Amino acid sequence: MPSRHLHGVIQQAVKVYRNALSSILPSPPRIIFIIISHLCFFTEIPYIVFMLVTLFFCLFCLLFQQYPGMNQLSSSLGGLSLQSSPQPESLRPVDLTQERNILPTTPVWAPVPNLNVDLKKLNCSPDSFRCTLTNIPQTQALLNKAKLPLGLLLHPFRDLTQLPVITSNTIVRCRSCRTYINPFVSFIDQRRWKCNLCYRVNDVPEEFMYNPLTRSYGEPHKRPEVQNSTVEFIASSDYMLRPPQPAVYLFVLDVSHNAVEAGYLTILCQSLLENLDKLPGDSRTRIGFMTFDSTIHFYNLQEGLSQPQMLIVSDIDDVFLPTPDSLLVNLYESKELIKDLLNALPSMFTNTRETHSALGPALQAAFKLMSPTGGRVSVFQTQLPSLGAGLLQSREDPNQRSSTKVVQHLGPATDFYKKLALDCSGQQTAVDLFLLSSQYSDLASLACVSKYSAGCIYYYPSFHYTHNPSQAEKLQKDLKRYLTRKIGFEAVMRIRCTKGLSMHTFHGNFFVRSTDLLSLANINPDAGFAVQLSIEENLTDTSLVCFQTALLYTSSKGERRIRVHTLCLPVVSSLADVYAGVDVQAAICLLANMAVDRSISSSLSDARDALVNAVVDSLSAYGSTVSNLQHSALVAPSSLKLFPLYVLALLKQKAFRTGTSTRLDDRVYAMCQIKCQPLVHLMKMIHPNLYRIDRLTDEGAIHVNDRVVPQPPLQKLSAEKLTREGAFLMDCGSVFYIWIGKSCDNNFIEDVLGYPNFASIPQKMTYLPELDTLSSERARSFITWLRDNRPLSPVLHVVKDESPAKTEFFQHLIEDRTEAAFSYYEFLLHIQQQICK
């Protein structure tokens, strides 16, 4: 005879069991189920009999009446236990004002969605697809109550070492919503599958019954499309509006006096000569060159000529193509002429006195030249456009760079560059902008040509070939990546989500063709995107939701391909579960994108206020759910403990900071980066990583390609962590700083920097020498590992303690107070004060 306590526990477990089974059934069988369960209870049938009877009934309903919920059955029963599950670590309350060392010493990884083991294995990598909430609220009201942003962060075309490529005559898709078959559909039987987005039942095509990997028949659920959440299909002619285009590259180069003085042509031409054979493409690849100052110069590179032929068009008000058929030539047929031109270009304009820049007309000519095929236009510009269409005036007031109030001119001065970009996008042409300027160039206006044509923006302030060698080296390394990385042409990307969810705002460089379709004339592996979501219909009838992004593009080899990523997340009904599933890094990146839009459409101060309010609202909402909370405490769930720190970091970032001297082009470029960088790179921009490197050891090191890479712990971004006896590396994404303390060990200085002592280190040191010492090997191995897989090559600055250059380094110590901004502790007190109002 069991004790009364055990009897109560079993009865409670049976109730949980009954509720779990009941939740996965739609209305008609649910009513029958409740009647059966009540009869069993009132007739005092033994618990085991009750459980068997009800389980059999549920299985009968699911197998023979084709209701959705096979996956839900396993997830509902997965948590069934006689004991209540312990509170997850992500919900542990953290008193932020008391727990001062909030930053973990190891990198912050993406939270793993709370799915059953099988679904976890199949889910999409967070490197490609992340959601700000890994537990999706059941209703919009619940989302509103949590005061958290809901959205997706995508890196759809990133470089992958393993990618299942599927060649099939039939690409299986839902007949209703056109979702691609994926690991989260459910097979009703061998011949039918249910869509996980709209729940339509579809037939399994005959060809899909055969598995090419196992060479077996009759196991559609084992096909690679259903076993991998990231796949790439070789598309048939059904996915083509025209034959796949060749790879076409056009280089449009500023050759005004300013450009020649800066010396970028030497680096560009040398990089092109070294990488001509590595440009992505095939035997059809075409290439062309234009230069411009106050006139536009075309280059006839037609096979058979003895040397390149320059053709000058001086009428910039009515631009025309002098010889349309010989300006874009086959790379391999005209390779020698192309090499001759690249060898000659750096010295062709050495004595020029042309100071004007007709960028707008040059872009109009480029558009005409590229329109028949589409492709990529790479524009190199060194100053404010001063002639013809699209000319710009200086709008920056240097006296306002440190303003704490209004920051003006974050938006474009003219719509010329946006309109041109949309024309280019319509002809499958993307424009990439390289701005190498020593003065204000109105990037806010120029950037539009890349933003709306799905291009990229590269910015090199104070560029000079000899006076600024670190920028010259950066351009050289960036060009190597740029010229040789994978590229997709004439692309479109569609994002789909489970019925009940909707998308309403996209972030990135693209043209929005329809509500869920992005037009991408080019796609590259370094492009990131974000999208905001809302819950339009309650998700009470499902325990899982899915998101799918499909990127249709033409490869450089002329193949039409579709890359598909599918993400699956659980639905929750409690506020605590919503907080438990916060992906704080995804949330901060989405908020950063939203703040950029707010800065341009409203004002910078509005954007800053919105960021602070995001912290106040979310922590206030969480505080209302915690019992026995002291009025004076500022408490966050562990999942959100870094949220205030990251928001403070954003407020001190170049894009949003006030009171610190910030050039307008620098600020605008930071905003452009936020809008198009993948999360992994954007987080380093927002919150740099700081490491102590004068004590590197092999303890905890990892092995990468036969190289031992030390893994020093992360330090918080505060001067209190710096010691004058040490050396510290700060990784800001596009910049590395190595700060050397005044009393740093001479052995380290000699072994790593190659100088005998602190005093002998030069003020401007931008590289680490290759020295045959263990310390040098460890330091270089660690920095090389950090540098790998970056879209932009970081510049390295060695900063001596007490040198003038340390100002920039100290600006990144975001936990410390500055004249214009709170310290981290002061910011927490400010948040606490706002909550208590």
* CATH code (residue 799): 3.40.20.10
Domain-terminating residue out of 643, 663, 680: 680
In the numeric block, which tokens belong to residue 42? 């009132």
| Integer Cα distance of 754 and 338 in angstroms | 42
Asked if pLDDT for residue 69 goes beyond 60, the answer is: no
Q: Is the same domain home to 695 and 778? A: yes
SS (H, E, C) 179-237: CECCCCCEEEECCEEECCCCCCEEECCHHHHEECCCCEECCHHHCHHHHCCEEEEECCH
In the numeric block, which tokens belong to residue 141? 């009201």
Asked if pLDDT for residue 167 goes beyond 80, the answer is: yes
Question: pLDDT tens, 408-429?
Answer: 899 999 999 999 999 999 999 9
Q: What SS3 state is found at 487? A: coil
Asked if the structure places residue 47 within a domain, the reply is no
Q: Is the same domain home to 98 and 167? A: no
Asked if pLDDT for residue 628 goes beyond 90, the answer is: no
Taking each helix axis from N to C end, the angle separating 70-78 and 47-64, rounded to the nearest 10 degrees, works out to: 150
Q: How distant, in Å, are the alpha carbons of 99, 186, 245, 327 from that of 286?
A: 60, 46, 11, 10
Q: What is the pLDDT of residue 52?
A: 61
- DSSP bridge pairs for 714: 691
Q: Is the same domain home to 430 and 541? A: no
Domain-terminating residue out of 564, 582, 600: 582
Q: Is the same domain home to 692 and 753? A: yes
Asked if pLDDT for residue 19 goes beyond 60, the answer is: no
Range 153-181 average pLDDT: 94
Which residue segment(s) compose the domain that 800 sits in?
688-813
Overall pTM > 0.85:
yes
Structure-model confidence comparison of residues 58 and 796, the more confident one: 796
Asked if the structure places residue 649 within a domain, the reply is yes
As a whole number of angstroms, the longest Cα–Cα distance in the chain is 104
Question: pLDDT tens, 548-582?
Answer: 999 999 999 999 999 999 999 999 999 999 999 99
Q: Is the same domain home to 260 and 173? A: no
Q: Is the same domain home to 161 and 138? A: yes
Q: What is the pLDDT of residue 237?
A: 79
Max avg pLDDT among 67-81, 216-230, 395-409: 216-230
Could you give the number of structural domains in the chain? 4
Asked if the structure places residue 699 within a domain, the reply is yes
Q: What SS3 state is found at 335? A: helix
Asked if the structure places residue 459 within a domain, the reply is yes
Given a contact cutoff of 8 angstroms between Cβ atoms, the answer to whether 117 and 77 are in contact is no
Asked if pLDDT for residue 4 goes beyond 80, the answer is: no
Range 505-516 average pLDDT: 91
Range 577-588 average pLDDT: 97
Range 458-472 average pLDDT: 93
Range 235-255 average pLDDT: 90
- Cβ partners under 8 Å of residue 110, min gap 6: 126, 130, 583, 585, 586
Question: pLDDT tens, 815-834?
Answer: 999 888 999 999 999 999 99
Q: Is the same domain home to 462 and 374? A: yes
Asked if pLDDT for residue 50 goes beyond 60, the answer is: no
Question: pLDDT tens, 684-715?
Answer: 999 999 999 999 999 989 999 889 999 999 99
Chain center to CA of 652: 21
Question: pLDDT tens, 762-805?
Answer: 988 998 999 999 999 999 999 999 998 788 889 999 999 988 88
Asked if the structure places residue 8 within a domain, the reply is no
Q: What is the pLDDT of residue 18?
A: 53
CA atoms within 13 A on the CB side of 800: 17
Q: What is the pLDDT of residue 212?
A: 74
Range 313-320 average pLDDT: 94
pLDDT-based confidence at residue 254 (cuts at 50, 70, 90):
very high
Q: What is the DSSP letter of 582?
A: B
Q: Is the same domain home to 571 and 626? A: no
Q: What is the pLDDT of residue 74?
A: 37
Asked if the structure places residue 19 within a domain, the reply is no
Q: What SS3 state is found at 250? A: strand
pLDDT-based confidence at residue 80 (cuts at 50, 70, 90):
very low
Range 492-510 average pLDDT: 95
Q: Is the same domain home to 378 and 363? A: yes
Give burial (CB, 10 Å; 0-12/13-18/19+) of 370: buried
- Cβ partners under 8 Å of residue 609, min gap 6: none
| Integer Cα distance of 666 and 440 in angstroms | 9
Range 731-753 average pLDDT: 95
Enumerate the H helices of 677-742 as residue ranges.
679-686
Count of Cβ atoms closer than 10 Å to residue 386 Cβ: 16
Q: What is the DSSP letter of 398?
A: G
Asked if the structure places residue 593 within a domain, the reply is yes
Q: What is the pLDDT of residue 659?
A: 85
Mean pLDDT of the chain: 89
Q: What is the pLDDT of residue 728?
A: 97
Asked if pLDDT for residue 491 goes beyond 50, the answer is: yes
Q: What is the pLDDT of residue 334?
A: 96
CATH code for the domain in which residue 577 is found: 2.60.40.1670
| Integer Cα distance of 96 and 217 in angstroms | 58
| Integer Cα distance of 143 and 677 in angstroms | 27
Q: Is the same domain home to 642 and 701? A: no
Q: What is the pLDDT of residue 38?
A: 53
Burial 392-411 (b: 16+ CB within 10 A, else e): beeebeeeeeeeeeebebbe
Domain-terminating residue out of 638, 657, 680: 680
Q: Which of 591, 552, 536, 671 is nearest to 235 (CA)?
A: 552
Asked if the structure places residue 200 within a domain, the reply is yes
Question: pLDDT tens, 430-450?
Answer: 999 999 998 999 999 999 999
Q: Is the same domain home to 449 and 552? A: no
CATH code for the domain in which residue 619 is found: 1.20.120.730
Q: Is the same domain home to 157 and 277? A: no
